[in-house]
Amino acid sequence: MFSNQFQQAKSAESLNSIYARIQSIDRRIDSLQGKSLSVNSTPITKDGGLEFSQVLGQIRDNLPPRANQWIVEDAIKQASLKTGVDLDLIKAVVQVESGGNSNAVSGAGAKGLMQLIDSTANSLGVNNPFDPHENALGGANYLKQQLKNFGGNLQFALAAYNAGPQAVVKYNGIPPYNETTDYVKKVSAVYQSLKNSA
């Protein structure tokens, strides 16, 4: 029994490693900005045939549940390391926003782990909002912006994340919207719970 669980865990870990490596290759190709590479005299371009984002999506969709969980956990960890935003805060936002589902789409069209709307995703340089690493990094950067905008006030920053910074400025605090007040309470509660269990 233990041997089978160990083998499954190792297989999932290998798949996660492959996924991460393909992401790294994809970022390198993106950095070429349309330039061609030549491998064995065969030109390879970003748009020349197979889209890496499609391959990544197929790999992610076919991973065992545990491997997907590891990908989400790694995306959150990397976002925290790169932005300096508290790991538990990002976890709390992800839990409330999407429940950790990188393919989540809200009725308003918000997408991915941290539920980014297209205009916000574009402004943050997120090309594929369903990519857990891109989405978590974009969402963490947006959260960091709101914390800075509101002098580190977590309640205001969370309200701005949900309702937009203009609404927080307009009401000089948390806007009197049921959705926003509930959102701030939920994220704050999850965040405190994560802090207490650490």
Residue 40 inside a domain? The answer is no
How high is the pLDDT of residue 87? 97
Residue 181 inside a domain? The answer is yes
Taking the C-alpha atoms of residue 121 and residue 112, their distance in angstroms, rounded to an integer, is 10
Is 179 marked active-site?
Answer: no
pLDDT digits (tens, 9 = 90+) for 61-95: 665 555 578 889 999 999 999 999 999 999 999 99
Taking the C-alpha atoms of residue 149 and residue 168, their distance in angstroms, rounded to an integer, is 10
Residue 26 inside a domain? The answer is yes
Supply the DSSP string of 101-139, one letter for each residue.
Answer: -TT-B-TT--BTTTTB-HHHHHHTT-S-TTSHHHHHHHH
- How remote is the C-alpha of 60 from its chain's centroid? 14
Residue 39 inside a domain? The answer is no
* Mean pLDDT across 18-44: 51
Please provide the average confidence, as pLDDT, over all residues in the chain: 81
pLDDT digits (tens, 9 = 90+) for 100-142: 999 999 999 999 999 999 999 999 999 999 999 999 999 999 9
Q: Are 71 and 19 in contact (CB under 8 A)?
A: yes
Output the six-digit token pair for 126. 């997120």
- Angle of helix 87-98 versus helix 132-149 axis, rounded to 10: 110
Q: 81 is in which domain, residue-wise?
A: 2-32+48-197
Is the predicted pLDDT of residue 191 greater than 60, yes or no? Answer: yes
- Here the CATH number for the domain that contains residue 83 is 1.10.530.10
Residue 42 inside a domain? The answer is no
Residue 96 inside a domain? The answer is yes
Is the predicted pLDDT of residue 40 greater than 90, yes or no? Answer: no
C-alpha distances in angstroms, 105 versus 97, 102, 131, 183?
10, 9, 13, 17
As for how many domains the chain has, the answer is: 1
Residue 180 inside a domain? The answer is yes
Residue 41 inside a domain? The answer is no
Q: Return the residue matching tokens 């969370």.
A: 158
The one catalytic residue among 13, 51, 73, 97: 97
